[in-house]
Structure 1
């Protein structure tokens, strides 16, 4: 489970164990992990902050010293902020407590980061920064307790000198920062250490894995018929950008969609119809676009628009028509998102659910903020945007973020660098539209699509190089995945 700082505090408060008991449990389990990985001749330095994270470090030092390990402890301050932390500090022999100048004279096999816990926010204190730099510049194996010091647990923000660890030991549950590794690369691996605290009844962090995905797949009945699970409508493409709409179609078909409508310009229809023979095509001209698309809107369960529509003359008319007339979810991608720049107020006037699928640059252009500002606090910024405009936001990136208007969010863990190429987003657009057309739960449909998109990339790189990955390989991987699950 993934929990926020607030949820974690509530779990600890509901525990029948005291803070001192929990600190002892954390220290005991951390010591077990150290003993698994390193023998008694290992030299260890534990850097302890003032709070309970530091208390965990002091207690762990006491246990390891009792086991015969060579441990030195570097306290950040002369006194601890909590009585539990101070008590564990006082239990240590003074000869094992050293100053920063002393540790700089030594080399250690392991440095354990117990400086800041999940309550850290803002910037590292100036007097602590040299210690953080020393840790990062050392050649030691570095372990962080719960959160890499200098990083915020919930937002993903981190100071430039935040600790970079080999392993971060998440306490109790994963926190959002642990799911954003591909954004910050502060650790190589995260391991969760279970604690005897009650599980939260609900978390704002949505989770998806293979079992949840298979469970959520629409069931195909033996007496089923085409369109029984819903119908999807894809609109887009233009001269010179036919491939984007073709990839939409591939994605929708890979979702399991059994009845697919496609509306496109007459000029590109012959090319698409030659490639794809199963969709029902609805070609239009500048004069007939409204009369062709309007009757389709009430007949479908999801509408995707915008992929490859850069040079489509009727794109603004189509977007206005779809947003005004549809009562089913509308997914806006690429050019459809660019049409909203300077016109975001439109989203507040419509009644139908809307899903936006921008990558970071498109989102930055849409809301008028620099990319670096968004990257530094993307969960909060995405949540505020989704709430204000009442949309589901799919912010594509290394850790694609899905945010609902109600504050729930999903940080995707599947996928790899092979997805950073043209066509990848078009395929995802089709998957999202296809899944939404088959399921009533929109947010779950979007999360499933994002998860599958990344899962396909993870499977595809087992057969194809990252540098030459093609969207078609993802379709092959999806089919193989379904076959392995007998779906």
Structure 2
């Protein structure tokens, strides 16, 4: 992944870090070496250890007559340094006598579950209780999807070479990688773009240089409420009116100038004054505070005068909801954000036959909603979040925001951004409604769909981090805290 180094050196999935004893002068490292280029990378480590007066030895699988790749060169260098070697199955391997283990068994070219000597060495390394440093990826981890084969190394640190691998920012792989650092081996980052790499970590630098976003969120001294756009939000029902309120408040906190919240007329008396900054508009509906098919005309009328439209949070399901959503899809001329029940409605429609909207559409599913949209199971979604999001965005011509840890943003052109902000405390009801409002608020201010989706996700996670940090216990975090931390 291009653009990875800055954030990956500073952040991580929260896994354990090796202790300070790993920096002492008399370390004794056991280096597990495979047959390919990853093994060659491991064999380069003893030279560093010798320079630091740290004795090492290296262990390999049973020898073959021919070593593919670069291991022969590095093996000769290790021999020249006088470093002892042992062979699995022939020599006794003393895991207890080492300070730590370097895992250089299997690299990005491996596929499937480790077998034979590789499986034995991985299992023994994990059972040793010693800190493990993996070269490029932990052996047994799928470099593209983050899937873990059995067995798989569970590393304290993964030293990723040249560019971050996709599997290290997708779970469960991110949990097995430990602290991830990226180190240059002389490959220019520009080559990744030339080779067609389309996935990047979402960092402030990427937001600024690649997406052209002003991350400072500066305001013009001549600006006024009309300068920063007007959002229309069609959301909320009797049992879920709070979802609409959260999304509306979040749109304002994201910086847009005006928000109109339209909802069934029967609910208006109950939400008046709940957030005095928000304008309210009745959209018909039944006396029970639910939507009906006839409300689409009023939403279309209101949406024609707005800079961005969002719907779905707290919407509920109702008779005629598929035709209702189709009318909005085909009739709204402003960028459209769909979340929650709007996504569930969309999943039941053959919307590829609908008329092209002629303006951007942003979908913001969580994994369960994504599964319904794509017609697969939730575990299948989670097995390759980046690949699935990218393929869906390209096929359907939408900007897709696949929520979860390391949220994925995919564009219709196949560009993918993996978010680096967020906190486990954000797993609370309403957090997704807040994100919907934020993205709509950024759209209204003139950002394009990819900019608004990416920047909205980044700011949402950052606010979640701040909100969690202000609590005695991050598990006490609620969605409204995220809005107040913006």
Give the TM-score normalised by the residue count of structure 2: 0.85
Deviation digits for residues 431-487 of structure 1 (CA, Å, limit 9, x no counterpart): 111111212421111111111111111111121122211122112211xxxxxxxxx
Cα distance in 1 for partners of 2:238, 2:324 equals 17
Structure whose residues are more often helix by fraction: 1
Q: Secondary structure at the match of 2:74?
A: helix
Cα distance in 2 for partners of 1:382, 1:60 equals 37
Conservation of the 8 A alpha-carbon contact between 1:460 and 1:473:
yes
Q: RMSD over aligned Cα, in angstroms? A: 2.7
Residue number among 393, 401, 412 corresponding to 2:408 in the alignment: 401
Give the 3 Å change call, closer, same or farther, for CA 277–317 of structure 1 in structure 2. Answer: farther
Match of 2:312 in 1: 306
Residue number among 23, 26, 29 corresponding to 1:44 in the alignment: 29
Matching of residue 339 in structure 1 with residue 338 in structure 2: no
> How is 1:353-368 mapped onto 2 (pairs within 5 angstroms)?
353-368=360-375
Residue number among 174, 198, 203 corresponding to 1:209 in the alignment: 203
Match of 1:10 in 2: none
Give the TM-score normalised by the residue count of structure 1: 0.85
Give the 3 Å change call, closer, same or farther, for CA 305–353 of structure 1 in structure 2. Answer: same
Shift of 1:160: 3.0
Give the 3 Å change call, closer, same or farther, for CA 131–182 of structure 1 in structure 2. Answer: closer
Conservation of the 8 A alpha-carbon contact between 2:322 and 2:346:
no
Deviation digits for residues 294-352 of structure 1 (CA, Å, limit 9, x no counterpart): 22222122111111011555643431221011232211111101102232434764233
Give the 3 Å change call, closer, same or farther, for CA 319–38 of structure 1 in structure 2. Answer: same
Cα distance in 2 for partners of 1:476, 1:347 equals 41
Shift of 1:282: 1.6
Match of 1:270 in 2: 269
Match of 2:184 in 1: 194
Match of 1:451 in 2: 458
Q: Indicate the larger mover: 65-74 or 49-58.
A: 65-74
Match of 2:295 in 1: 289
Gaps of 5+ in 2: 5-17, 286-291
Gaps of 5+ in 1: 5-32, 479-487
> How is 1:223-262 mapped onto 2 (pairs within 5 angstroms)?
223-262=222-261
Cα distance in 2 for partners of 1:397, 1:183 equals 14
Matching of residue 469 in structure 1 with residue 455 in structure 2: no
Shift of 1:217: 5.4
Cα distance in 1 for partners of 2:354, 2:105 equals 45
Cα distance in 2 for partners of 1:454, 1:347 equals 35
Cα distance in 2 for partners of 1:295, 1:266 equals 16
Cα distance in 2 for partners of 1:34, 1:96 equals 26
Shift of 1:241: 0.8
Shift of 1:67: 5.0
Match of 2:7 in 1: none
Give the 3 Å change call, closer, same or farther, for CA 243–443 of structure 1 in structure 2. Answer: same
Q: Indicate the larger mover: 300-309 or 38-47.
A: 38-47
Q: Secondary structure at the match of 2:369?
A: helix
Match of 1:157 in 2: 147
Count residues with an aligned counterpart: 450
